[in-house]
C-alpha cells in the first residue's frame, strides 16, 4: 500500500470470531438489553420462523441461508459478523442495531449485506465503528437508514470500507467520530452515495495528516478508491487538521460529483475546508452537476482544482 496513510489492515476480531467466520458461522457478543428499550425480535421472511430475546438476531443470522431477508424490530444489542448475502430490514418504530460500545456493530467479510430502514449506533472499534467492510468480496447496501453515534480509534467512525463495495441510498451518516475520517473511510473501495447526507461528523485525532494521518477528513476519506456522489450533501463536518468535508488521496483515487451534490459548511483547522487533495487524484463532475463546493472554512479546495467547469479554491 502506498505510504501516507498508516493503518493495520486486519480488523480486530477475536480468535473465536475468526474461527467462526472460517466455518461459515456467526459470533455475537450480546450485552444485556437496556431496561425500557424495545425487545429485539427477528423473523426470517423465507422460513417464517420468528426469533425473540437477547440473541434473536444472532440466531436468525446463523440460521439464515444466503439471500434470505430478516425482518428486525426493537433494539438488538451486539456486534454482528456477516459472511453471506443477507438483507436486514427494519420494521415498526425505530428498529435499531446497537453495538453497546464493544466493537463494530456490523463486520462484513464476504457477500453483500443490505441494511434497510435501520439505525446503526453505539459501535466502538479501531476501524468502522458502525459498519466495517473488509475485502474485495464484501459489500454493503445502506438504504433508508441512519448511521450515527459511532466512533473509531483510527479510521471510519461511521463506516470503514477496505477494498469492498459500499452503496448508500436515501440515508444519513451523521454524528460519528474518529481520529480520522469521522464519517466514512474507504481504502481502494467503490463507494456510491445517492440522495444521502454525510453531516456533523468529526475527525479529532490531534495529529498531523502528513505524519500519523490523524485529524483529517471530517466527513469522507477516499484513499485510492472510486467515489461517486449523486444528489447528496456533505455538510457541517469538522477536521481538526485538514479536509473538513473530505480528503481525496493517491493517483488511483477518483471522485465524481453528480446531480445536486453539495459540499457545504465544513471546517478544517488548517486547510482544505471543503476538500483536501493529496497526490494526483481524478476529481470531476458529470454534465448534470448543479451543486457546489461552498461556505467551507478556511477554503473550498486545497490545493485549488477545477471540478467540471467550476474553479474550486480559496
> In this structure, what C-alpha cell is assigned to residue 104?
463494530
Residue 80 C-alpha cell reads as 454482528
Peptide bond into 179 cis (omega under 30): no
Q: Each residue of 88-101: b (16+ CB within 10 Å) or e?
A: bbbeeeebbbbbbe
Phi, psi at 73, each rounded to 5°: -130, 160
C-alpha distances in angstroms, 291 versus 230, 231, 309?
10, 8, 12
Task: Please provide residue 148's backbone torsions phi and psi, each rounded to the nearest 5 degrees.
Answer: -150, 150
Question: 6-24: per-residue pLDDT in tens?
Answer: 553 333 333 333 333 333 4
Q: What percentage of residues in the chain have a pLDDT greater than 90?
A: 83
Q: What is the pLDDT of residues 64-91, one digit of tens each?
A: 999 999 999 999 999 999 999 999 999 9
pLDDT at 32 over 50: no
Q: Which of 197, 189, 188, 246 is nearest to 217 (CA)?
A: 246
Model confidence over 231-275: pLDDT tens digits? 999 999 999 999 999 999 999 999 999 999 999 999 999 999 999
Contacts of residue 55, Cβ cutoff 8 Å, sequence gap at least 6: 28, 30
Handedness of CA 98, 108, 143, 174 (dihedral sign): positive
- For residue 67, the tally of other CB atoms under 10 A from its CB is 11
CA 65 to chain centre: 25
For residue 25, give the 3-state DSSP assignment.
coil
Contact call for residues 259 and 290 (beta carbons, < 8 A): yes
What's the distance, Cα to Cα, between the start and end of the chain in Å?
31
d(CA 115, CA 146): 10
Rg, the chain, Cα only = 19
pTM of model > 0.75: yes
Amino acid at each position: 500500500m502506498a505510504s501516507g496513510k498508516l493503518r493495520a489492515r486486519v480488523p480486530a476480531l477475536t480468535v473465536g470470531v475468526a474461527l467462526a467466520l472460517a466455518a461459515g458461522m456467526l459470533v455475537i457478543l450480546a450485552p444485556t438489553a437496556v431496561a425500557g428499550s424495545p425487545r429485539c425480535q427477528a423473523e426470517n421472511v423465507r422460513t417464517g420462523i420468528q426469533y425473540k430475546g437477547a440473541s434473536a438476531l444472532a440466531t436468525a443470522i446463523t440460521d439464515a441461508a444466503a439471500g434470505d431477508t430478516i425482518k428486525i424490530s426493537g433494539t438488538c444489542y451486539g456486534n454482528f459478523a456477516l459472511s453471506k448475502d443477507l438483507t436486514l430490514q427494519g420494521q415498526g418504530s425505530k428498529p435499531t442495531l446497537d453495538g453497546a460500545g464493544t466493537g463494530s456493530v456490523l463486520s462484513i467479510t464476504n457477500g453483500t449485506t443490505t441494511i434497510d430502514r435501520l439505525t446503526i449506533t453505539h459501535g466502538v472499534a479501531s476501524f468502522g465503528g458502525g459498519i466495517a467492510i473488509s475485502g474485495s468480496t464484501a459489500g454493503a447496501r445502506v438504504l433508508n437508514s441512519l448511521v450515527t453515534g459511532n466512533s473509531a480509534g483510527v479510521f471510519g467512525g461511521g463506516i470503514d470500507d477496505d477494498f469492498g463495495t459500499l452503496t448508500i441510498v436515501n440515508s444519513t451518516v451523521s454524528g460519528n467520530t474518529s481520529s480520522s475520517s469521522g464519517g466514512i473511510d474507504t481504502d481502494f473501495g467503490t463507494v456510491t452515495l445517492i440522495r444521502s447526507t454525510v453531516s456533523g461528523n468529526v475527525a479529532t485525532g490531534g495529529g498531523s495528516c502528513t505524519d500519523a494521518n490523524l485529524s483529517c477528513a471530517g466527513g469522507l476519506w477516499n484513499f485510492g478508491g472510486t467515489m461517486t456522489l449523486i444528489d447528496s450533501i456533505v455538510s457541517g463536518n469538522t477536521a481538526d487538521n485538514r479536509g473538513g468535508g473530505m480528503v481525496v488521496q493517491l493517483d488511483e483515487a477518483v471522485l465524481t460529483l453528480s446531480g445536486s451534490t453539495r459540499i457545504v459548511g465544513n471546517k478544517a483547522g488548517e486547510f482544505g475546508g471543503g476538500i483536501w487533495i493529496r497526490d494526483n487524484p481524478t476529481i470531476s463532475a458529470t454534465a448534470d452537476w448543479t451543486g457546489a463546493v461552498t461556505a467551507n472554512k478556511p477554503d473550498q479546495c486545497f490545493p485549488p482544482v477545477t471540478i467540471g467547469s467550476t474553479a474550486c479554491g480559496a
